[in-house]
């Protein structure tokens, strides 16, 4: 399967499944629609866990070797500071990219 | 019942939904741009980028899928990641359902397509605001969804075009983890969330060499379980 074909299968299947999730409770709104209390915590923890699992290897292991003091980790650290401080998406991405370019040049 | 007069009609309700959503779309534009750029970066074209944005219409899931496709992850890992990230929408669906219970089933099923973090937040806030004029709920929700949808598709297309013209020195692939970072920070609201993120991140780095990108879903599941255990223990302490 080519990458383009894989992308189409993934987006159609992922989109269909996502629609079923969206429609789940809305489809039966006339009945009692409640998520049990005990399932709320794991649902709430999905975004932080998944996002961290995507970020960490891209930052700390960009080329297959764990690097803590390279351009990427330091640039990500700067971006994290900006994200915590400003909560601005644009500022986070711009500062992170600029830092990566600068540090990449510095580390050569 | 508070005396707020007659509810707004369909057209003013749609307008109220668009107006409520507009300020929020400003924060959505960068993600739409990155969704377009990431598609190009993963070796895909405009058709695929727009396909993702129209069919899936969910920022974090789209970006994660594009990230994985760019790293040649297997199909099932890509689809599974999209679904896991979007599982949170169960909560939105459950939150919205009782508030749209008086609407026809056809309207509720059509409206499900618009359901996102943003439409949910904007709609719930308005529906539960006793001081604001009552709106025709489904129309308000649809107006908010339409505004978000238009901005999302437009910024995806701009991202594809812009991604092809950005100079080589800008490490555009790195924009993706940075976008995830800005999504991550607001979710770190308490200890279980921070622990889930730290565990997932650490395991993901350690398990990165596993074949088929299996390290990512494994790390996410371990992070969620650890945070869940911690949260259950904290609850018991509060009760004790």
Q: Are residues A84 and A67 in the same domain?
A: yes
- A44 shares a domain with A88: yes
A91 and A50 co-located in one domain: yes
Give the contacts of A5 (CB within 8 A, at least 6 positions apart): none
Do B133 and B8 contact (CB within 8 A), yes or no?
yes
Three-class DSSP labels, B54-105: HHCCCHHHHHHHHHHHHCCCCHHHHHHHHHHHHCCHHHHHHHHHHHHCCCCH
| Distance of residue B7 Cα from the nearest chain A Cα, in angstroms | 22
pLDDT at residue number B13 = 96
**Residue A73 and residue A93 in one domain:** yes
Co-location of A16 and A45 in the same domain: no
pLDDT given for residue B211 in this prediction = 79
For residue B232, list chain A residues with Cβ-Cβ distance below 8 A.
41
Q: Residue B186 and residue B190: Cα distance in Å, rounded?
A: 10
Residues A98 and A57 in one domain: yes
The pLDDT score that the predictor gives to residue B94 is: 87
Which pLDDT score is estimated for A30? 63
Q: Are residues A51 and A100 in the same domain?
A: yes
Interchain pair A64, B199: CB under 8 A = no
Q: Are A42 and A15 within one domain?
A: no
Tens place of pLDDT per residue across chain A (108 aa): 899 999 999 999 999 999 999 999 999 866 656 778 888 899 889 889 999 999 999 999 988 889 889 999 999 999 999 999 998 888 999 999 999 999 999 987
A54 and A86 assigned to the same domain: yes
Give me the domain span that covers residue A1: 1-34
* Other Cβ atoms closer than 10 A to B137: 21
Q: Are A45 and A25 found together in one domain?
A: no
Q: Which residues of chain B have pLDDT under 70?
A: 1-5
Question: Do A46 and A73 share a domain, yes or no?
Answer: yes
> A29 and A42, same structural domain?
no
Mutating which of A26, A59, A105 best tests the B interface, going by the most B Cβ atoms within 10 A?
A26
In chain A, the number of structural domains is 2
Cβ–Cβ of B187/A28 closer than 8 Å? Answer: no
Nearest to A8 among B51, B171, B217 (CB): B51
Count CA atoms within 13 Å of residue A3 on its CB side.
17
């Amino acid at each position: 399967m080519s990458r383009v074909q894989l992308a189409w299968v993934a987006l159609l299947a992922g989109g269909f499944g996502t629609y079923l999730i969206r429609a789940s409770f809305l489809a039966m709104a006339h009945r009692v629609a409640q998520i049990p209390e005990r399932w709320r915590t794991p649902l709430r923890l999905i975004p932080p866990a998944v996002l961290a699992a995507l970020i960490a290897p891209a930052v700390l292991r960009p080329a297959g070797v764990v690097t803590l003091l390279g351009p990427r980790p330091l640039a990500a650290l700067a971006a994290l500071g900006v994200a915590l401080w400003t909560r601005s998406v644009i500022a986070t991405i711009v500062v992170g990219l600029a830092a990566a370019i600068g540090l990449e040049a510095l580390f050569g | 019942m508070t005396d707020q007069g007659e509810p707004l009609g369909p057209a003013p309700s749609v307008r109220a939904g668009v107006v409520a959503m507009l300020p929020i779309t400003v924060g959505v534009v960068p993600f739409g741009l990155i969704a377009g750029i990431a598609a190009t970066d993963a070796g895909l074209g405009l058709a695929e980028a727009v396909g993702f944005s129209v069919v899936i219409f969910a920022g974090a899931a789209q970006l994660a899928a594009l990230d994985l496709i760019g790293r040649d992850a297997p199909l099932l890992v890509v689809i599974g990641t999209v679904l896991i990230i979007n599982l949170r929408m169960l909560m939105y669906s459950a939150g919205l359902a009782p508030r749209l219970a008086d609407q026809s089933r056809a309207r509720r099923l059509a409206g499900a397509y618009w359901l996102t973090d943003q439409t949910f937040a904007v709609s719930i806030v308005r529906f539960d605001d006793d001081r604001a004029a009552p709106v025709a709920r489904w129309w308000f929700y649809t107006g908010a969804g339409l505004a978000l949808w238009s901005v999302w598709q437009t910024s995806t297309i701009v991202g594809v075009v812009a991604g092809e013209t950005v100079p080589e020195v800008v490490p555009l692939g790195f924009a993706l983890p940075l976008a995830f970072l800005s999504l991550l920070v607001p979710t770190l609201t308490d200890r279980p969330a921070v622990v889930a993120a730290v565990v997932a991140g650490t395991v993901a780095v350690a398990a990165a060499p596993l074949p088929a990108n299996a390290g990512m879903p494994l790390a996410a599941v371990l992070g969620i379980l650890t945070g869940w255990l911690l949260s259950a223990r904290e609850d018991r302490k509060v009760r004790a």
